[in-house]
Amino acid sequence: GVELRMLSQKEMKQLEPNMRGVRALLSPSTGILDSQALMRYFLDKARSNGAQIAYETKVIGIDKIPDGYRVNVEDSQGNFSFTTKVLINCAGLNSDKVAGMAGIDIDEASYRLRFCKGEYYSVNNRKSGLLNRLIYPVPTTTGLGAHVCFDVSGRMRIGPLYYYVDEVDYKIDDSRKKALCQSAIMAALPFIEPHDLEPEMAGVKASPQGKDEGFRDFIINHECNMALPGFINLIGIDSPGLTSAPAIAKYVGTLVDETLRNY
């Protein structure tokens, strides 16, 4: 598990003099990573192991064939297809639709995804130096809540403020800033005032649960029970999917080995 230490108010104030709170939990191994650099590393690793990447190429259909699958795709030149014994669906926001292309009833299987948008606000640079680490409020049953994060250049931001949306877009609805200002994290940071916060960016999560529904874990299934041997679904890989990616990849690797052994 993750190492955690309970801090008294005095210890908390020594580490974060500008933070308000009664006590705190310290997670000494928590860190920030450069997600683009991590992607470049994974890409290099995959290529050196023989992977070929088809960019700007969309899966539009999947046919079950005796020895595996025919995958129909579309790119700027037109449509083509390829066949494979093992097919791993990790299409993020579209992973439920891709599962549906293989003939799975996504409502019956409880695979239908909801879109959950998270908005971040950057904190005025003059205040960025007033904290030394990531700060989280006490989590609720529905998530971590908006928290303090830093980008790799040290710029402070607060978020994500999550809400469900019907369509994917990356616009920020700044009428929600008031809700952020009233969130638990802001109560711990009295030095940040509403005018210190500027809308910065938004992201959309593929959430396996809808608004006010209980927490659901990642869905990682080898669909042999649905008569689809070799079809592996990764659906609703919500946060912390990036942190979990190496562990997920190892697990999926065991499913692939198992499939190939049974061929």
Ligand X SMILES: Cc1cc2nc3c(=O)[nH]c(=O)nc-3n(C[C@H](O)[C@H](O)[C@H](O)COP(=O)(O)OP(=O)(O)OC[C@H]3O[C@@H](n4cnc5c(N)ncnc54)[C@H](O)[C@@H]3O)c2cc1C
Contact positions with ligand X (CB under 6 A) in 137-166: 160
And the tokens for 144?
């971590």
- Per CB under 6 A, the segment of 11-19, 179-187, 209-217, 235-243 that binds ligand X is 235-243
DSSP secondary structure string for all residues of 205-248: EEESS-TTPPP---EEEEGGGGT-TTEEEEE---TTHHHHHHHH
Helix (H) or strand (E) holding 62: strand 58-65
* Phi, psi for residue 260 in degrees, rounded to 5: -70, -35
Instruction: Tell me if 203 contacts ligand X by CB under 6 A.
Output: yes
Among 168, 103, 184, 174, residue whose Cα is nearest residue 136: 184
Instruction: Tell me if 243 contacts ligand X by CB under 6 A.
Output: yes
Distance in Å, CB of 204 to ligand X, minimum: 5
With CB under 6 A as the contact rule, the residue among 129, 240, 246, 253 that binds ligand X is 240
- Per CB under 6 A, the segment of 1-9, 172-180, 224-232, 241-249 that binds ligand X is 241-249
Distance in Å, CB of 160 to ligand X, minimum: 4
| Cα 52 to Cα 47: distance, rounded to the nearest angstrom | 6
| Cα 7 to Cα 22: distance, rounded to the nearest angstrom | 9
- Per CB under 6 A, the segment of 38-46, 79-87, 174-182, 238-246 that binds ligand X is 238-246
* Phi, psi for residue 87 in degrees, rounded to 5: -130, 120
With CB under 6 A as the contact rule, the residue among 241, 252, 255, 256 that binds ligand X is 241
- Per CB under 6 A, the segment of 37-45, 91-99, 104-112, 173-181 that binds ligand X is 91-99
Size of the site for ligand X (CB under 6 A): 21
Instruction: Tell me if 253 contacts ligand X by CB under 6 A.
Output: no
Distance in Å, CB of 49 to ligand X, minimum: 18
Instruction: Tell me if 204 contacts ligand X by CB under 6 A.
Output: yes
Cα–Cα distance list, 12 to 25, 122, 145, 154, 204 (Å)? 9, 24, 20, 21, 33
Please report, as ranges, the residues that interact with ligand X according to CB under 6 A: 58-59, 90-94, 98, 118, 160, 203-205, 234, 237-243
